């Protein structure tokens, strides 16, 4: 029996990854089985019938490659999610380009698997002219791409609702307003008296701690304890000592509440606490991978490398 004090999300979290993997395996396996059965029935009306193992190979290879592509689509959906609010044209353009890559990989992968199975069976699979048929395959694949990405988005939204977003609680109101001085007779100012130099406004105070609510509990988080931040659609995820807290805010807006000498943006959707960086691993093309003290890794794009060097220099 589980702990009755835990809510639904807390009971689901330990098995979440297993459920996610099992869902896609079961879904695409059932799709392959039903597709095979339908194709076998349909093949009876064809002039040139094919063996059942061939039909099973066609359906199985297609769905197996789709299954292997699901993790990549999860990454694409999460990477492009922040664009939907402010750059929807770029958002659609990137998804269109990703769907083309998705279709090419799917077609090449399933044809390769079919050729391998045919070779093992002592037969020959003829996929000559597949490039000319790719337009037809793409029309099918773009619908599959949209369905999978939508499913990933809907599931992520469901988990956020199940988890319960964390919110920064409202600051306490001031007790008593400052007294207003009584009206007095205006003083006569000598024309020759120089006007005092206006004092520049003090910089806004940045909070040292954030009181957040998550799963009907409240947590006091020190700003310096935040390891790194990640934009997740309409939310920003705070990664603190191995725990995640989702706030309804944009990454750009939330960074204004943090010390810019300590927190630096290193990617379009990531920012890090400089004191939490353990190692910087350069990558090809000028990008880098940041290894954090909590054991996680954060991407650093070439565009933000200069800011990172300035902060760590």
Question: With helix as H, strand as E and coil as C, how does the chain read?
Answer: CCCCCCCHHHHHHHHHHHHHHHHHHHHHHHHHHHHHHHHHHHHCCCCCCCCHHHHHHHHHHHHHHHHHHHHHHHHHHHHHCCHHHHCHHHHHHHHHHHHHHHHHHHHHHHHHHHHHHHHHCCCCCCCCCHHHHHHHHHHHHHHHHHHHHHHHHHHHHHHHHHHCCEEECCCCCCCCCCCCCCCCCCCCCCCCCCCCCCCCCCCCCCCCEEEEEECCEEEEEEHHHEEEEEEECCEEEEEECCEEEEECCCHHHHHCCCCCCCEEEEECCEEEEHHHEEEEEECHHHCEEEEECCCCEEEECHHHHHHHHHHHC
pLDDT in tens, 144-185: 999 999 999 999 888 877 766 666 655 443 433 333 333 334
Region 277-283: what's the mean pLDDT? 90
CATH 2.40.50.1020 spans which residues of the chain?
206-312
In percent, the amount of the chain with pLDDT more than 70 equals 77
Average pLDDT (8-23) is: 85
Q: What is the pTM of this model?
A: 0.62
Residues 243-258: tens digit of each pLDDT: 888 887 888 888 988 9
Q: Which superfamily does CATH assign the domain made up of 206-312 to?
A: LytTr DNA-binding domain (2.40.50.1020)
What confidence category does residue 33 fall into, taking pLDDT thresholds of 50, 70 and 90?
A: very high
Mean pLDDT, the chain, whole residue set: 81
For residue 313, pLDDT beyond 60? no
Supply the pLDDT for residue 275.
92
């Amino acid at each position: 029996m589980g702990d009755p004090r835990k809510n639904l999300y807390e009971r689901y979290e330990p098995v979440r990854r297993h459920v996610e993997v099992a869902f896609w395996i079961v879904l695409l396996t059932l799709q392959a089985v039903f597709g095979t059965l339908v194709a076998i029935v349909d093949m009876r009306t064809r002039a040139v019938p094919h063996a059942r193992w061939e039909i099973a190979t066609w359906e199985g290879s297609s769905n197996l490659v789709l299954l292997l592509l699901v993790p990549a689509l999860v990454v694409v959906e999460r990477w492009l999610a922040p664009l939907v609010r402010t750059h929807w044209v770029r958002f659609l353009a990137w998804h269109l380009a990703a769907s083309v890559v998705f279709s090419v990989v799917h077609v090449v992968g399933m044809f390769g698997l079919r050729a391998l199975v045919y070779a093992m069976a002592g037969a020959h699979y003829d996929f000559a002219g597949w490039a000319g048929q790719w337009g037809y395959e793409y029309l099918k694949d773009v619908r599959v791409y949209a369905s999978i990405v939508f499913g990933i988005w809907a599931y992520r939204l469901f988990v956020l609702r199940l988890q319960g977003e964390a919110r920064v609680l409202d600051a306490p109101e001031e007790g008593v307003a400052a007294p207003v001085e009584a009206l007095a007779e205006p003083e006569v100012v000598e024309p020759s008296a120089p006007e005092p130099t206006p004092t520049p406004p003090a910089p806004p105070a940045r909070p040292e701690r954030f009181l957040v609510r998550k799963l009907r509990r409240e947590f006091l988080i020190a700003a310096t304890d935040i390891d790194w931040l990640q934009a997740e659609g309409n939310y920003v995820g705070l990664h603190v000592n191995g725990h995640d807290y989702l706030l309804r805010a944009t990454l750009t807006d939330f960074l204004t509440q943090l010390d810019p000498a300590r927190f630096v943006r290193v990617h379009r959707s990531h920012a890090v606490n400089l004191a939490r960086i353990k190692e910087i691993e350069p990558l090809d093309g000028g990008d880098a991978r940041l290894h954090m003290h909590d054991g996680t890794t954060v991407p650093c794009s070439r565009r933000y490398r200069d800011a990172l060097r300035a902060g760590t220099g």
